[in-house]
A and B are shown apart, each in its own frame.
Chain A
Amino acid sequence: AQRVTQPEKLLSVFKGAPVELKCNYSYSGSPELFWYVQYSRQRLQLLLRHISRESIKGFTADLNKGETSFHLKKPFAQEEDSAMYYCALKFGNTGKLIFGQGTTLQVKP
């Protein structure tokens, strides 16, 4: 069955430290993966998608098909990065998203 797993509920780091938010997926087809972010009292918004291979707000994510992972990384965390991060897999003919449980990133000053 299709599944997205984010093993950490909370990740707490100091400002300037590297960050890696883990995401693993289970899907037999070719995955379409996304990272969504939800800042405090704001809506879910797209952070990045794996096909773009872009860096948004200093974040990157690489798809590793061998390890079925799509971890989100940033070399130097900023306080404004504090938010809830969701990894999502787009699946099926209707474009529905399957979300992981989410990881709260807390960046301390």
Chain B
Amino acid sequence: EPEVTQTPSHQVTQMGQEVILRCVPISNHLYFYWYRQILGQKVEFLVSFYNNEISEKSEIFDDQFSVERPDGSNFTLKIRSTKLEDSAMYFCASSTELAGYNEQFFGPGTRLTVL
């Protein structure tokens, strides 16, 4: 069964460094999402992406964050200059449709640790 994949599983970086988190959504899916979960807190929506552009972003998703789908298969989240508070689990998700009760399929997550 097709799955969403994410790499790396764990990324350690120094504060101020740029990181790129990678996701490969399920191949026939059209809608893509990033969520994050700070340790001990709830899963929070960051951004949604459709038709090669951001369709919605949360207030967490400031100018330090960007997303792109560079080659039709990968979907990346870039954090330009990481802060300590960016340490979290980042989940990618994808779905075929928006309408109705369509399921979002989640990746296994990337644990980002900012030192």
Q: How far is the CA of A94 from the CA of B72 in the complex (A)?
A: 20
Across the interface, do B44 and A95 meet the contact criterion of CB distance under 8 Å? Answer: no
* Cβ-based interface call for A34 (8 A): yes
Residue of B nearest to A33 (CB): B101
User: What residues of B have a CB within 8 angstroms of the CB of A90 in the complex?
Assistant: 101
* From A52, A93, A95, A101, contact of B104 by CB (8 A): A95
User: What residues of B have a CB within 8 angstroms of the CB of A101 in the complex?
Assistant: 41-42
Across the interface, do B101 and A51 meet the contact criterion of CB distance under 8 Å? Answer: yes
* From A43, A49, A98, contact of B101 by CB (8 A): A49
* From A42, A52, A86, A94, contact of B98 by CB (8 A): A94
Which residues, 26 to 84 on B, are CB-close (under 8 Å) to A?
Answer: 31, 33, 35, 41-45, 48, 50, 55-56
Across the interface, do B106 and A44 meet the contact criterion of CB distance under 8 Å? Answer: yes
Across the interface, do A95 and B106 meet the contact criterion of CB distance under 8 Å? Answer: no
Bitwise, A36-47 to B at CB < 8 A (1) or not (0) is 100000111110
* From B4, B100, B107, contact of A51 by CB (8 A): B100
Q: How far is the CA of A81 from the CA of B89 in the complex (A)?
A: 23
Q: How far is the CA of A32 from the CA of B48 in the complex (A)?
A: 18
Across the interface, do A99 and B43 meet the contact criterion of CB distance under 8 Å? Answer: yes
User: What residues of B have a CB within 8 angstroms of the CB of A92 in the complex?
Assistant: 56
Residue of A nearest to B99 (CB): A95
Across the interface, do B101 and A95 meet the contact criterion of CB distance under 8 Å? Answer: no
Across the interface, do B104 and A97 meet the contact criterion of CB distance under 8 Å? Answer: yes
Given contacts A93-B55, A94-B56, contact A99 B44 (CB under 8 A): yes
Enumerate the 6 nearest inter-chain pairs by beta-carbon distance, A residue then B residue, closest first: A94-B48, A94-B56, A44-B106, A99-B43, A95-B98, A49-B101
> Which residues of B pack against A, CB within 8 Å?
3-4, 31, 33, 35, 41-45, 48, 50, 55-56, 91, 95, 98, 100-104, 106-109
Q: List 21 A-B contacts (CB under 8 A).
A: A43-B4, A43-B107, A43-B109, A44-B91, A44-B106, A45-B106, A49-B103, A52-B101, A93-B56, A93-B98, A94-B55, A94-B98, A95-B33, A96-B48, A97-B35, A97-B43, A99-B35, A99-B43, A101-B41, A101-B42, A102-B43
